[in-house]
């Protein structure tokens, strides 16, 4: 079973990512699958009924397409074909902050140690680090910084509201 | 888990620092519930000391332990990234964006490190550190750029983590000075001292610096993103040619807010920014930035590097459509966590309180007679001294445009000497302008003569600010691997042609800007005379445009015709000037004559004899 960083732990990944699934035939017989948005939309009734189906988004997929399913989807993955393509960071923030997605938000594709801190701040809590990399080393990337100036998905209260402890409310990361 | 462990470590640190904290369970619980156990400064981290931190009298933002920790963490991160790259654990493609976001290019002959001078503000302690870095890690000099940065052209890759650590020790960094991210925030080099200023932009520039630093969502944008802020109706920060230009203004009620301009820029497709919002409440500015950047990050083109800037997206989407997206996103964020409380703006403003000015007469008799008696001094005062809002003080520009020296270059020895002078004459602080000069903002009028003598000895008193020889110039083909052509020798040849100071002063205000390639680091589009290096079958040629202008009436120059060989350039400029001198109306600047007459008479003269 492939590995995954979930929160801060290395776990075995029980989900199967179906990058090229285009029809129900590609999905049958599998449990816990992550399907492309296009398939999710075209076979919505069947896939929605299964409860063990997650959806993955391409960088240019509109996360708003999942708004009706947001409370029931167990997992949404966002693909980074190249780590320098930063669109997925904004997709994640919309899913977390605008659509209030509370399930697992997973980064897939060219996922590397040096982007993990930023990914986490944008709301990702699972990282399918590229298979050729050292996962234990990659976890270190989550701690590259101890805090950030901005309001983020993981730490909504920006530093300027916490700096002197004057008006702080919950600016911390959720427990993982 | 780790986050919680960290939190409890912070709690322990508090308990150790403040033993009484546990005696009050209610307070302790309150702090715990409210997550107020923010990390304390580590014990081993140095507090500000006289020797290594900005002096107390200068007006620069002072890091607290959190700001300091961020730059320290960045140094550690980049040190490890460099180690992994050198060990073969990171490929060149993986390392490149990481090093670029730390200002490190691989240039023609060696790496180039670009260090941020946020909104152009420097303490003398910081300048001495830059001098030291130039001496220890480079060849004894640095190059001040057109975006309030300084570049070192010869550092070794292996040394860069140490250089970043040296910078961090004086509250400086090279964060996001390159790469497809939000770049160094730039501003008016006369901020806080200009009489025409409506709002001091420095607190906002610092607010933007912090917001942009390590913004987790916007580190991998389609392309670079530049923001400039001005607080004066006389725009000295080139805000109209930035991705976002921000004008601090006051509304009818006297409240400070911002006029926001979007999508300006130079490069291959020069565009003057458009107003996207006339008045944005100051508290909302970061939410509004987040909205703009989010739309750009999602929809900006990533298929073609030349079409990836926000100006192209705005053009393709049209401004009203783009603005509609931004306003909708802002509406959602408005009033939320990212809204800036006035207390924070006041906290930032407190760093930029006026220095302890003396009560002086606005008209110093000694100064007046020195100007009358000493023509050279008078020329310098006319060109290099700008009025100060406080009586008896003056703003002095040190010209880094002496003929024979690459524009913007200063040696480490010169930097040390300038630091001593700024300590002696200007409250231990100085500015860097996008015209690649240095500024002392707070010089007593009665000391101008003495300062002038010292600057002359240093080679920084050329009385040419705003004149033809105050050339903005990129490093060009001598250093830069992007360049199509050299720019520094062209600047020098033109400066040599116009070495007659009387003639130079008679020609009057004229911006001549030179870029060695399309990327327009030398701002050639907004030069009254713009020179662009182009490559024709492997040879270096120069395309000339006229009529560009920066500032509040910014305009883009128009190309006069086919390009020229390097050796023709001084003649070409001479002929342009000849036409101006013959046809100008009284008190008409070069650019105004071009606007009045159009290109034709200039073209005729230049091409009649050149080709």
Verify whether the Cβ–Cβ distance B217 to A93 is below 8 Å.
yes
Helix (H, G, I), strand (E, B) or coil at B574: helix
pLDDT band, residue B108 (cuts 50/70/90): low
> Which pLDDT score is estimated for B481?
85
DSSP codes joined into one string, B577-611: HHHHHHHPPTT--HHHHHHHH-SHHHHHHHHHHH-
Residues B176, B37: Cα–Cα separation, whole Å? 30
> Would you call B98 an interface residue with chain A, using a CB distance cutoff of 8 Å?
yes
- The b-or-e profile of B532-556 (16+ CB within 10 A means b, else e) is bbeeeeeebbbbbbbbbbbbeebbb
Q: Nearest Cβ partner of B337 from A156, A164, A166?
A: A156
Instruction: Please check the confidence at residue A134 and state whether its pLDDT lies above 50.
Output: yes
CB A80 within 8 A of CB A59: yes
Query: Which has more confidence, B269 or B121?
Result: B121
Verify whether the Cβ–Cβ distance A176 to B69 is below 8 Å.
no
Note the ipTM here.
0.95
> Would you call B528 an interface residue with chain A, using a CB distance cutoff of 8 Å?
no
Q: Is B411 left (phi over 0), alpha (psi -120 to 50) or beta?
A: beta
DSSP codes joined into one string, chain A: --EEEETTEEEE---EE-SS--SGGGTTT-SSEEEEHHHHHHTHHHHHHHS-EEEEE-TTS-GGGGGGGTTT-SEEEEEESSTT-THHHHHHHIIIIIS---SEEEEEES--GGGHHHHHHTT--EE---TTS-HHHHHGGGGS-S--SS--SSS-S-GGGTTTSSS--S-SPPP-
> Which pLDDT score is estimated for A28?
82
Query: A83: exposed, middle or buried (C-beta count within 10 Å: 0-12, 13-18, 19+)?
Result: buried
CB B191 within 8 A of CB B201: yes
> Which pLDDT score is estimated for B445?
96
Q: Which residues of A touch B69 (CB under 8 A)?
A: 146-147
Q: Mean pLDDT, to the nearest integer, of B192-214?
A: 97
Instruction: Please check the confidence at residue B459 and state whether its pLDDT lies above 80.
Output: yes
Helix (H, G, I), strand (E, B) or coil at B493: helix
Average pLDDT, chain B: 91
DSSP codes joined into one string, B231-255: -SSS--S-GGGSSEEEEEEE-TT--
Q: Could you state, in order of their start, the residue ranges of all structural domains in chain B?
A: 2-33, 194-354, 365-454, 472-610
> Which pLDDT score is estimated for B58?
75
CATH class, range B365-454: alpha beta
Which ranges in B34-105 belong to alpha helices (H)? 65-86, 92-100
CB B59 within 8 A of CB B427: yes
Verify whether the Cβ–Cβ distance B297 to A118 is below 8 Å.
no
Residues B554, B245: Cα–Cα separation, whole Å? 12
Verify whether the Cβ–Cβ distance A150 to B216 is below 8 Å.
yes
Query: Which has more confidence, B42 or B212?
Result: B212
* Cα A71 from chain centre: 15
Q: Nearest Cβ partner of B35 from A86, A145, A171?
A: A171
Chain A nearest-CA residue for B181: A86
Q: Nearest Cβ partner of A122 from B207, B213, B216?
A: B216
Q: Which residues of A touch B66 (CB under 8 A)?
A: 147, 159, 163
Residue B474, CA atoms < 13 Å, CB-side half-sphere = 27
Verify whether the Cβ–Cβ distance B216 to A163 is below 8 Å.
no
Verify whether the Cβ–Cβ distance B298 to A150 is below 8 Å.
no
CATH of B194-354, one of 3.40.640.10, 3.40.50.2300, 1.10.10.60, 3.30.413.10: 3.30.413.10
Q: Which of A8-17, B41-50, B330-339, B585-594 has the lowest mean pLDDT?
A: B41-50
Measured in Å, how far apart are chain A's first and last C-alpha atoms? 22
Helix (H, G, I), strand (E, B) or coil at B471: coil
> Which pLDDT score is estimated for B51?
36
Q: Would residue A95 count as lying in a domain?
A: yes
Query: Which has more confidence, A160 or B551?
Result: A160
Q: Would residue A64 count as lying in a domain?
A: yes
Q: How far is B53 from chain A (nearest CA, A)?
A: 21
Closest CA to A67 of A38, A107, A100, A18: A100
**Run of H or E residues at B203:** helix B202-212
Verify whether the Cβ–Cβ distance B81 to A114 is below 8 Å.
yes
Q: How far is B286 from chain A (nearest CA, A)?
A: 9
pLDDT band, residue B24 (cuts 50/70/90): low
Q: Which two tokens stand for residue B557?
A: 């120059």
Residues B478, B236: Cα–Cα separation, whole Å? 29
> Which pLDDT score is estimated for A1?
81
Verify whether the Cβ–Cβ distance B210 to A119 is below 8 Å.
no
Beta strands at B111-116 and B149-152: parallel, antiparallel or unpaired: antiparallel
Verify whether the Cβ–Cβ distance A160 to B210 is below 8 Å.
yes
> Which pLDDT score is estimated for A169?
41
Interface test with B, best of A122, A125, A150, A174 (most B CBs within 10 A): A150
> Which pLDDT score is estimated for B411?
97
Q: Mean pLDDT, to the nearest integer, of A159-170?
A: 67
Instruction: Please check the confidence at residue B148 and state whether its pLDDT lies above 60.
Output: yes
pLDDT band, residue B4 (cuts 50/70/90): very low
Q: Which two tokens stand for residue A108?
A: 């897939």
Verify whether the Cβ–Cβ distance A165 to B210 is below 8 Å.
no
CA–CA distance from B302 to each of A64, A116, B181, B182, B473 (Å)?
21, 22, 14, 16, 29
Q: Which CATH superfamily is domain B472-610 in?
A: Sulfite Reductase Hemoprotein, domain 1 (3.30.413.10)
> Which pLDDT score is estimated for A29?
80
Q: Mean pLDDT, to the nearest integer, of B433-442?
A: 96
DSSP 8-state code for residue B271: B
CB B258 within 8 A of CB B280: yes
> Which pLDDT score is estimated for B609?
62
Chain B nearest-CA residue for A59: B298
Helix (H, G, I), strand (E, B) or coil at B144: strand
Q: Mean pLDDT, to the nearest integer, of B301-324?
A: 96
User: HEC profile for A29-45?
Assistant: CCCCEEEEHHHHHHCHH
> Would you call B1 an interface residue with chain A, using a CB distance cutoff of 8 Å?
yes
> Domain residues for A33?
3-146
Query: Which has more confidence, A54 or B11?
Result: A54
> Which pLDDT score is estimated for B552?
85
Q: Would residue A159 count as lying in a domain?
A: no
pLDDT band, residue B607 (cuts 50/70/90): very high
Domains B194-354 and B472-610 share a fold: yes
Q: pLDDT tens, B113-138? A: 999 999 999 999 999 999 999 999 99
> Would you call B28 an interface residue with chain A, using a CB distance cutoff of 8 Å?
no
Phi, psi of A154 (to 5 degrees): -80, -30
**Run of H or E residues at B310:** helix B310-317
Instruction: Please check the confidence at residue A165 and state whether its pLDDT lies above 70.
Output: no
Q: Which residues of A touch B294 (CB under 8 A)?
A: 90, 93-94
**Run of H or E residues at B419:** helix B412-425
Verify whether the Cβ–Cβ distance A86 to B216 is below 8 Å.
no
- Counted domains in chain A: 1
Q: Would residue A91 count as lying in a domain?
A: yes
Interface test with B, best of A58, A80, A90, A119 (most B CBs within 10 A): A90
Residues B240, B242: Cα–Cα separation, whole Å? 6
Residues A52, A30: Cα–Cα separation, whole Å? 10
pLDDT band, residue B42 (cuts 50/70/90): very low
Verify whether the Cβ–Cβ distance A146 to B343 is below 8 Å.
no
Q: Which of A157-166, B32-41, B66-75 has the lowest mean pLDDT?
A: B32-41
> Would you call B210 an interface residue with chain A, using a CB distance cutoff of 8 Å?
yes
> Which pLDDT score is estimated for B267?
85
Q: Mean pLDDT, to the nearest integer, of B293-312?
A: 96
Q: Mean pLDDT, to the nearest integer, of B253-282?
A: 94
Domain with A102 in it: what CATH number?
A: 3.20.20.70
> Would you call B34 an interface residue with chain A, using a CB distance cutoff of 8 Å?
yes
CB A99 within 8 A of CB A70: yes
Q: Which residues pair with A55 in a beta bridge?
A: A35, A76
> Which pLDDT score is estimated for B43?
36
Interface test with A, best of B118, B337, B348 (most A CBs within 10 A): B337
């Amino acid at each position: 079973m492939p590995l995954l960083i979930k929160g801060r732990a290395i776990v075995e990944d029980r989900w199967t990512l179906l990058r090229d699934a285009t029809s129900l035939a590609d999905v049958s017989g599998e449990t816990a699958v992550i399907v492309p948005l296009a398939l999710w939309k075209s076979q919505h009734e069947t896939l929605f009924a299964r409860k063990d189906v997650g959806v993955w988004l391409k960088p240019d997929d509109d996360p708003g397409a999942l708004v009706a399913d947001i409370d029931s989807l167990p997992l949404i993955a966002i693909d980074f074909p190249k780590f320098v393509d930063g669109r997925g960071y904004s997709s994640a923030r919309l899913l977390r902050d605008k659509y209030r997605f509370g399930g697992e938000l997973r980064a897939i594709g060219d996922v590397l140690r040096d982007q993990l801190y930023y990914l986490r701040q944008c709301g990702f809590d699972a990282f399918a680090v590229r298979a050729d990399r050292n996962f234990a080393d990659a976890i270190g990337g989550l701690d590259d910084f101890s805090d950030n100036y901005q309001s983020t998905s993981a730490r909504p209260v920006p530093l300027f509201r916490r700096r002197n402890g004057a008006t702080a409310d919950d600016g911390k990361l959720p427990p993982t | 888990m780790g986050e919680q462990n960290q939190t409890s470590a912070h709690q322990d640190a508090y308990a150790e620092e403040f033993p009484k904290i546990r005696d009050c369970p209610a307070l302790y619980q309150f702090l715990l519930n409210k997550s107020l156990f923010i990390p304390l400064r580590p014990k081993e981290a140095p507090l500000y000391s006289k020797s290594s931190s900005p002096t107390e009298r200068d007006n620069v933002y002072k890091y607290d332990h959190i700001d300091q920790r961020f730059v320290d963490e960045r140094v550690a991160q980049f040190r490890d990234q460099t180690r992994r790259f050198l060990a073969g654990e990171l490929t060149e493609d993986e390392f490149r964006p990481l090093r670029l976001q730390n200002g490190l290019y691989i240039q023609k002959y060696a790496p180039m490190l670009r260090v941020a001078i946020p909104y152009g503000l420097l303490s003398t302690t910081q300048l001495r550190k830059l001098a030291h870095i130039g001496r220890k890690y480079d060849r004894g000099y640095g190059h001040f750029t057109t975006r309030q940065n300084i570049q070192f052209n010869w550092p070794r890759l292996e040394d860069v983590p140490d250089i970043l650590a040296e910078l961090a020790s004086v509250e400086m960094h090279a964060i996001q000075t390159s790469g497809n991210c939000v770049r160094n925030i730039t501003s008016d080099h006369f901020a806080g001292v200009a009489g025409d200023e409506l709002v001091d932009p420095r607190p906002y520039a610092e607010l933007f610096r912090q917001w942009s630093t390590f913004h987790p969502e916007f580190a991998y944008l389609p392309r670079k993103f530049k923001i400039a802020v001005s607080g004066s109706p006389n725009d000295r920060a080139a805000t109209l040619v930035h991705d976002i230009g921000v004008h601090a203004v006051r509304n009818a009620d006297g409240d400070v807010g911002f006029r926001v301009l979007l999508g300006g820029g130079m490069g291959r497709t020069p565009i003057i920014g458009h107003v996207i919002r006339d008045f944005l409440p100051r508290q909302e500015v970061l939410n509004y930035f987040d909205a703009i950047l989010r739309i750009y990050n999602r929809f900006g083109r990533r298929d073609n590097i030349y079409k990836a800037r926000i100006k192209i997206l705005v053009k393709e989407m049209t401004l009203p459509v783009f603005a509609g997206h931004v306003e909708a996103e802002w509406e959602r964020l408005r009033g939320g966590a990212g809204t800036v409380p006035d207390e924070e703006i006041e906290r930032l403003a407190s760093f930029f309180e006026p220095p302890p000015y003396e009560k002086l007469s606005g008209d110093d008799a000694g100064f007046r007679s020195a100007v009358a008696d000493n023509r050279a001094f008078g020329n310098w005062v006319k060109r290099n001294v700008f009025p100060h809002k406080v009586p008896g003080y003056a703003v002095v520009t040190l010209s880094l445009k002496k003929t024979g020296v690459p524009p913007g270059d200063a040696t480490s020895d010169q930097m040390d000497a300038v630091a001593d002078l700024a300590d002696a004459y200007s409250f231990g602080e100085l500015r860097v302008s996008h015209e690649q000069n240095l500024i002392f903002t707070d010089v007593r009028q009665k000391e101008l003569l003495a300062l002038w003598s010292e600057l002359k000895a240093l080679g920084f008193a050329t009385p040419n600010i705003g004149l033809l020889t105050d050339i903005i110039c990129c490093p060009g083909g001598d250093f830069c691997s992007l360049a199509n052509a050299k720019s520094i020798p062209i600047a020098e040849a033109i400066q040599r042609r116009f070495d007659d100071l009387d003639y130079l002063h008679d020609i009057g205000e004229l911006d001549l800007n030179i870029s060695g390639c399309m990327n327009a680091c030398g701002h050639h589009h907004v030069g009254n005379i713009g020179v662009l290096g182009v490559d024709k079958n492997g040879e270096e040629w120069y395309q000339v445009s006229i009529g560009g202008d920066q500032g509040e009436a910014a305009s883009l120059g128009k190309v006069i015709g086919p390009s020229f060989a390097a050796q023709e350039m001084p003649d070409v400029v001479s002929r342009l000037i000849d036409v101006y001198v013959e046809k100008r109306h009284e008190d008409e600047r070069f650019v105004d004559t071009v606007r009045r007459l159009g290109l034709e008479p200039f073209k005729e003269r230049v091409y009649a004899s050149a080709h």
